[in-house]
Amino acid sequence: MRILLLCHSFNSLSQRLFAELKARGHQLSVELDISDSVTEEACALFQPDVLIAPFLKRRIPESVWRSVVCLVVHPGPPGDRGPAALDWAVLEQASQWGVTVLQANADFDAGPVWAHASFDMRSASKGSLYRSEVTQAAVVAVLRAVQRLDVNDPLVTPTEGVEAGPGSVGSAWRPAMPQTARRIDWLSSSTADILARLRSADGQPGVQDALFGHPCHLFDAQPATGTALQALAGTAAGAVVAQRDGALLRRTVDGGVWIGQVRLARACGDESAFKLPATLAFAPEAATLPVWSVPLERENDEWAELRYWERGPAGARVGCLSFDFYNGAMSTEQCESLLAALQQVKQRDTQVLLLLGGRDFFSNGIHLNCIEAAAHRPDSSAADESWRNINAMNDVAQELIATTDRITVAVLRGNAGAGGVFLALAADEVWAHPGAVLNPHYRNMGNLYGSEYWTYLLPRRLGPERARELMRQRLPLLAVDAQRMGLLDRCLDTSPAGLERDVIPDALALALTYNLSDRILHKQQVRTADEATRPLADYRKEELSRMYRNFYGFDPSYHVARYHFVHKLPHAWTPRHLAVHRP
């Protein structure tokens, strides 16, 4: 089928559907929802059999839905309607939720239902659920709907197979969620209630609140547990009492909540109204707070960005290092912490080291928001911070490449983008959840050349020709397809949520391989030979000379693209590599 994806932005769900549909032989093109006339033009040019809207913020124009079947992906079960479906589900702590594919008509989310799928809710943020459970259910439902279209099967009728009431007009309209529904009263609300409010608004729009007397939006909440919870005794509800890994700890009536990210209210002339680590947004205030750090190896539930644990018997032991950086973005300081952790865990007698990245993202490369923030600091600049950040990323990649006394495995529980993909390739093996989406290229960020030793790591897996082609295409890649082409090694048949647990038996089996020591010896020989052919330092120097031009040169494309990305400016056109219908 010829399928046109119409989306507000080419987000993770749109990318996953794009890759899944393409893998099934459909012809895909993408148009971003820029204006009605652009959508009309895209339909006229592409002549789609069906238009699918995975992520829209406005209605599809009537001229379009009257002339072509338009399927809208609604992140709610049949019968649920409105623009904040998942927000309400998280706030009200629903135990089950779903995704419905319905046909666009004159009413909002009220057309005939073509397919739907359900899932169990997890105690997590809206964004995390969206990227994982919602995306998975959406894939199931969209594929079902497309199959029905393909064989011209009749629509699911209101009584057929839709338990919770079909997508019929007027069943359960719920409006956009106002900030009043999310408001937190720090002097009376319980921790669970506060977490539900914050999680219902994360990644966007955040909960309107104030810290240190400054209005701001809050994001990225974790409950205080373990040592932090004990240390909170005697502090007053509402007080901000400590910091850890960029987050601020705020006392509640029955515990505490770590707030990882804030967006300051945009004051007159204030350019820094975008999401930042809380201690960076409130740097002077945070400087007066104690740092409540925790050891790298600790109880499972005590929150911090980095955690290490081990499994298995001596001689066949597996080390697991997780680095759960918000949105997969890795600032200079986060890279430095990860490097220190890597150096620490390399002292341990393990045979296999798993790099687990984060729950939602393995990594998305350098931290563009922190870099943007540096542009507003008198002692720094966006170029300087970009330079520091890419060097810190490279140090981590180099440390991994130089780990030749054990087998390293990068485990992609979530998606990876740009430098984050190449960081994973620095490990000996890459394993992934089959639905993980990779964006193994840099050029979408203002023609960034990229570093992280990609010029060494990518050709060694794909050969020079295919490596160039992959970078040129700038398209998302499903983990299963990446495995097929040799970019990664294994897809584990499990859910993203189960991957952290389910990967252990495979890692233990690897650690127990009878010829592991031969394999490690071989790896050392390959590294020595590669180094003799061309030193790693040389790759780095060459890549960084190109990056230096991106950061400090006369072409401002990277700075412009980063500014647009961080400030979430609406797209003005659809990139040509997506809109293949445009000549």
- Applying CB under 6 A, the residues found at the interface with ligand COA are 11-12, 127, 203-204, 275, 327-329, 364-369, 415, 417-419, 439, 442, 444-445, 448
* Smallest distance from ligand COA to CB 547, Å: 10
3-class DSSP assignment, residue 298: coil
Whole-Å CA distances, 98 to 11, 180, 282, 496? 19, 26, 38, 17
Least distance to ligand COA, CB of residue 203, Å: 3
What do you get for the CA distance between the two ends of the chain, in Å? Answer: 20
Other CB atoms within 10 Å distance of the CB of residue 261 = 25
Pick 327 or 408: Cβ nearer ligand COA: 327
What SS3 class is residue 550?
Answer: helix
* Smallest gap from residue 259 Cβ to ligand COA (A): 15
Beta bridge mates, 103: 71
CB of 169 to ligand COA, least distance (A): 31
Q: How far is the CB of 16 from ligand COA (least distance, A)?
A: 9
CB of 420 to ligand COA, least distance (A): 7
Q: Which is nearer to ligand COA, 166 or 203 (CB)?
A: 203
Beta bridge partners of 2: 27
Task: Give the number of residues written for the chain.
Answer: 583
Which lies closer to ligand COA via its Cβ, residue 115 or residue 448?
448
CA-nearest of 383, 386, 430 to 407 is 430
**Dihedral in degrees, nearest 10, Cα atoms 417, 423, 425, 429:** -110
The SS3 of residue 195 is: helix
Comparing CB distances to ligand COA, the nearer of 98 and 476 is: 476
In the complex with ligand COA, the residue whose CB is nearer, 417 or 435, is 417
Instruction: Output 80 or 202, the one with its CB closest to ligand COA.
Output: 202
Contact assessment for residue 242 and residue 290, using Cβ atoms and an 8 Å cutoff: yes
Dist CA 69 CA 145 (whole Å): 11
Alpha-carbon gap, residue 288 to 276, rounded angstroms: 19
Residue at token pair 């104030």 = 210
Residue closer to ligand COA by CB (options 262, 510) is 262
- Cα 269 to the chain's mean position, in Å? 30
Long-range contacts formed by 467-473: CB under 8 A, 24+ apart: 470/440, 470/441, 471/440, 471/441, 471/442, 471/443, 472/441, 473/441, 473/577
Q: Name which of 392 and 445 has its Cβ closer to ligand COA.
A: 445
Q: How far is the CB of 392 from ligand COA (least distance, A)?
A: 12
